[in-house]
């Protein structure tokens, strides 16, 4: 689905592939993480070219979330479809098309972002309820020194998509938690934004001033009663949270 927040115009595209994530390419179109692998997609969503299938031998996984660093590398994570076993991984696709597996043993690879100074990369594994931090070399695209940035208790849901604002604070969506959390750079909770739906999936800053926080939610797996209790589930929200975001980069390849 493509939505213009200013005009309210909506377009829907029926695709034969299950898309986990989609990022614009510098030259037009998109690069996507599919259940079947990584693909180039044209702007009309009419042509999909799968160019890499690094987990073809793992039918129980799918690509889930992805984002570009500020040099235009595409970082993309995979997940165990049952969200139980560490079958997934984190990959980096550089501008030349070289795909590198950087982290293995991931249960449900999810939200990722970078600090404003590009020295820290954040990566979420929903399956273990943790957001990790890595030291990041923006010139080489290398990560090292993985550590726990924060752990989310099951009573608060599970960490899903994330983004970083211009002040260097990390915003994380909570699947099953009815909330968004803003963390300070040290991993402490700065604020919690309650949501009227349980399954908050991801978030990104947008608008002309990058001053609106757009939040996606889901109703996947909810019963009729749960949907009746939270009828806005599956909706797209736009919030004024009093801070600005940072520009997102297209894929350089």
Q: How many CB atoms lie within 10 A of CB 217?
A: 24
Active-site annotation holder among 125, 160, 165, 224:
160
CA-atom Rg of the chain in angstroms: 17
Read off the pLDDT of residues 120-178 as tens digits, 9 standing for 90 and up: 999 999 999 999 999 999 999 999 999 999 999 999 999 999 999 999 999 999 999 99
* Predicted structure pTM score: 0.96
Dig out the tokens for 95 from the structure. Answer: 């501008």
pLDDT score, position 22: 96
Which residues touch 102 (CB under 8 Å, ≥6 apart)? 89, 90, 91, 92, 143
Going by C-beta distance under 8 Å and a sequence separation of 6 or more, which residues neighbour residue 163?
111, 113, 170, 171, 203, 204, 205, 245
pLDDT above 90: residue 97: no
- Quote the CA–CA distance of 248 and 47 in Å, as a whole number: 24
Which residues on adjacent β-strands are paired with residue 173?
Answer: 180
Which pLDDT tens digit goes with each residue over 185-239?
Answer: 999 999 999 999 999 999 999 999 999 999 999 999 999 999 999 999 999 999 9
135 is catalytic: no
pLDDT surpasses 90 at 100: yes
> Which domains are present in the chain?
2-239 (2.120.10.30)
Give phi and psi for 78, each to the nearest 5: -115, 170
Q: What pLDDT is attached to residue 5? A: 86
Burial class (CB within 10 angstroms; exposed 0-12, middle 13-18, buried 19+) of 206: middle
Average pLDDT, the chain: 96
């Amino acid at each position: 689905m493509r939505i213009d927040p200013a005009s309210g115009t909506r377009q829907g595209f029926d695709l034969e592939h299950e898309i986990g994530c989609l990022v614009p390419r510098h030259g037009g179109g998109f690069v996507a993480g599919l259940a079947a692998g990584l693909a180039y997609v044209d702007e009309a969503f009419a042509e999909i070219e799968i160019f890499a299938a690094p987990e073809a031998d793992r039918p129980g996984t799918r690509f889930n979330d992805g984002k570009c660093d500020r040099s235009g590398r595409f970082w993309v994570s995979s997940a165990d479809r049952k969200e139980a076993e560490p079958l997934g991984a984190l990959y980096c696709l550089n501008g030349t098309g070289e795909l590198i597996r950087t982290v293995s043993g991931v249960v449900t690879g999810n939200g990722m972002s970078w600090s404003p100074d590009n020295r820290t990369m954040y990566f979420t594994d929903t399956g273990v309820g943790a957001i990790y931090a890595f030291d990041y070399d923006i010139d080489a695209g290398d990560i090292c020194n993985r550590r726990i940035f924060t752990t989310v208790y099951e009573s608060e849901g599970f960490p899903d998509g994330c983004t970083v604002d211009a002040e260097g604070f990390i915003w994380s969506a909570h699947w099953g938690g009815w909330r968004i959390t803003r963390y300070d750079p040290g991993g402490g909770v700065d604020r919690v934004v309650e949501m009227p739906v349980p399954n908050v999936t991801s978030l990104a800053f947008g608008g002309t001033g990058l001053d609106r926080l757009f939040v996606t939610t889901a109703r996947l797996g909810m019963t009729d009663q749960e949907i009746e209790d939270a009828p806005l589930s599956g909706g797209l929200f736009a919030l004024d949270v009093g801070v600005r975001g940072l520009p997102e980069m297209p894929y350089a390849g």
